[in-house]
Amino acid sequence: MAKDYQKEYRYWLEHELADDATKEELRAIKDDESEIEDRFYRDLDFGTAGLRGILGVGSNRMNNYTVRRTAQGIANYINSEGSDKAKRGVVIAYDCRHFSQEFAMESAKVFAANGIKAYLFDEMMPTPILSFAVRYLKTFAGVMITASHNPAKYNGYKVYGEDGAQLGVAPSKYVMGYIEKMDIFSGAKTVSEEEGKRSGLIEMVGREVVSAFLSEVIKCSINPDVIQKAAEDFKIVYTPFHGTGYKAVCEILQMAGFKNVYPVPEQVVVDPNFSTVKSPNPEDKEGFALAITMAKEIGADIIIGTDPDSDRIGVLAKNETGDYDVLTGNQTGELLTDYVLSEKSARGEIAKGDYIVKTIVTTDLVKKIAAEFGVDVYDVFTGFKNIAEVIKIKEGKNEGEYLFGFEESYGYLPGTYARDKDAVAASLLACEMALVYKTRGVGLKEALLNLYKKYGCFVERTVSVVMEGADGMEKMAALMESVANHPPKELGGVKFTALRNYKTQTRYDFETGNEDKIDMVSTNVLYFELSGGGFFIIRPSGTEPKIKFYYSIPAESLDAGEAKIELIDAAAKKAFL
């Protein structure tokens, strides 16, 4: 329910604990009704993994007050679990964004004030290193200050559990409950940085953890001997998009034996404004313009780019004309899945019960690849914590070996040392794969087309529809309800055979009229099965004010698939928006 935003605005403006800079920013918008409404109509949501929002003053913004209150909510949860959990503590990392380092220290100070040990990284770090650090340091929780690939005006607050995965639903609800009961100004305890360090409750960490992380990542290499023999004739162009990946990615490639790594000079500069790109998102080819220019100049074999917190990677493959083709997140995942499984199979390293994990919005082509090698596939809901949950359950039962996991949004994990997507390891594996295939006379695009020849061509696309503002959430809810109550049986001439309504946990067959139960937890996703395979999925984003449409179309060719997607997408927007 929306708050009385004017009342909340005055509360912030007049509170004695609000600092001068906060009040000055609020006075500057006193005549802007819409701005006041957007900043104060709600509290920034603490979802199943934390916060994400626009930077600025207000209850619906990322600022020191919302960060401290969130940290206090986490502290209350930890202390409710027992003194041993407080002693194990929390490890905190941050990326390159505006106020990331400040928010990290503010969190550490709150944890220290609550008697909870806080390990704080001494410089910005990739998200996968934070996930690894939780397991390595055996802390009870972790915090990563990042807004991933969002534009510069955003920041965020990811919370991790003791397994190194983003916090699950149950503990998130406990944290949320503590936050909701807390006053934004007086609810959080805090100490000075000096006092926290002097007491030993704030401890800086760095190189030891990074070295241990890289030692695990290097084990993901499958053909290290090929790198040693052929790296001299292989060139890599890399952009970290001004973010955290520069040191770790370059170091892991060097450790593996790659000789010719060319970082994009303008984009290795730490820049929270991401000045050289429209958006620091490896999904967008626009951000690779400088990398492509450099790659053409030096004749690079591959271009890779990691987002600001280095958990996602984009790959561009050199083609026969000397230009560079953008691989989608699904295509990179298909190639990596086939590479990992085929190489391990050739070595006799795959056993019955070994498995890969993917999200339901990720291409089903990998199911065909996995079947070829006798590997099981687990489908989970969107969010890498769900992939991590499968790993945790399988390890607990000592069932099978995890071989690979990914989601279509450019996130991959080739090992179990971390429990979140890892662009550092994915950079190593993508470059190794490209080099190995080059020694066999095959380019990455050719390798992809070979997969399509063998298993059939699937074409995918994700379309995001932004619904910001006070009524954005209501519009999203209304759209989902409308489609669920009146599901189309075809769009753009493409027929649907069934609807999986994961909210009601039912599958309705359009042809037979039969309705069956789905054995998965309830979540707000509508999944239309296509005639001949593939899917059309509608889901609201869990971190941003947008509805997402996912298309996966079996087709005779890439062009034919793209044409079908254009038809369905146009029909979907006309019908639903």
CATH number of the domain enclosing 530: 3.30.310.50
Which residue, 98, 544, 165, is CA-closest to 308? 98
Place of tokens 């996602």: 312
pLDDT tens readout for residues 73-116: 999 999 999 999 999 999 999 999 999 999 999 999 999 999 99
User: Which CATH number does the domain housing residue 105 bear?
Assistant: 3.40.120.10
Question: Which position among 59, 107, 131, 148 bears the catalytic label?
Answer: 148
In a domain, 419, yes or no: yes
State whether 300 and 433 are in the same domain.
yes
Question: How crowded is residue 198: how many other Cβ atoms within 10 Å of its Cβ?
Answer: 12
Q: Strand 376-380 vs strand 355-359: parallel, antiparallel, or unpaired?
A: parallel
pLDDT tens readout for residues 345-371: 999 999 999 999 999 999 999 999 999
Number of domains the chain contains: 4
In a domain, 250, yes or no: yes
**48 confidence band (pLDDT: 50, 70, 90):** low
Residue 545, pLDDT score? 74
Poorest-pLDDT segment among 66-70, 95-99, 540-544: 540-544
Residue 46, pLDDT score? 81
pLDDT > 70: what percent of the chain? 98
- CA dihedral of 330, 336, 341, 342, whole degrees rounded to 10: 110
- Written as six digits, the tokens of 77 are 């949860």
State whether 451 and 466 are in the same domain.
no
The one-letter code for the residue type at 276 is: T
Instruction: Please determine, for residue 450, whether its predicted confidence score (pLDDT) is greater than 90.
Output: yes
3-state secondary structure 61-116: CECHHHHHHHHHHHHHHHHHCCHHHHHHCEEEEECCCCCHHHHHHHHHHHHHHCCC
State whether 438 and 467 are in the same domain.
no
State whether 503 and 484 are in the same domain.
yes
Domain that residue 532 falls in: 457-576
For residues 489-497, average pLDDT: 93
In a domain, 132, yes or no: yes
In a domain, 225, yes or no: no
Residue 205, pLDDT score? 98
State whether 299 and 436 are in the same domain.
yes
Residue 533, pLDDT score? 83
In a domain, 214, yes or no: no
164: left (phi over 0), alpha (psi -120 to 50) or beta: left
Cβ proximity of 457 and 368 under 8 Å? no
In a domain, 212, yes or no: no
In a domain, 176, yes or no: yes
**50 confidence band (pLDDT: 50, 70, 90):** confident
Residue 543, pLDDT score? 62
Instruction: Please determine, for residue 290, whether its predicted confidence score (pLDDT) is greater than 80.
Output: yes
pLDDT tens readout for residues 270-289: 999 999 999 999 999 999 99
Instruction: Please determine, for residue 546, whether its predicted confidence score (pLDDT) is greater than 90.
Output: no
Q: Identify whether 148 is a catalytic site residue.
A: yes
The last residue of one of the domains, among 418, 437, 455, is: 455
State whether 95 and 197 are in the same domain.
yes
State whether 280 and 420 are in the same domain.
yes
The C-alpha atoms of residue 276 and residue 331 are separated, in whole angstroms, by 26
Residue 472, pLDDT score? 79
The C-alpha atoms of residue 275 and residue 242 are separated, in whole angstroms, by 9
What's the pTM? 0.95
State whether 429 and 316 are in the same domain.
yes
State whether 406 and 293 are in the same domain.
yes
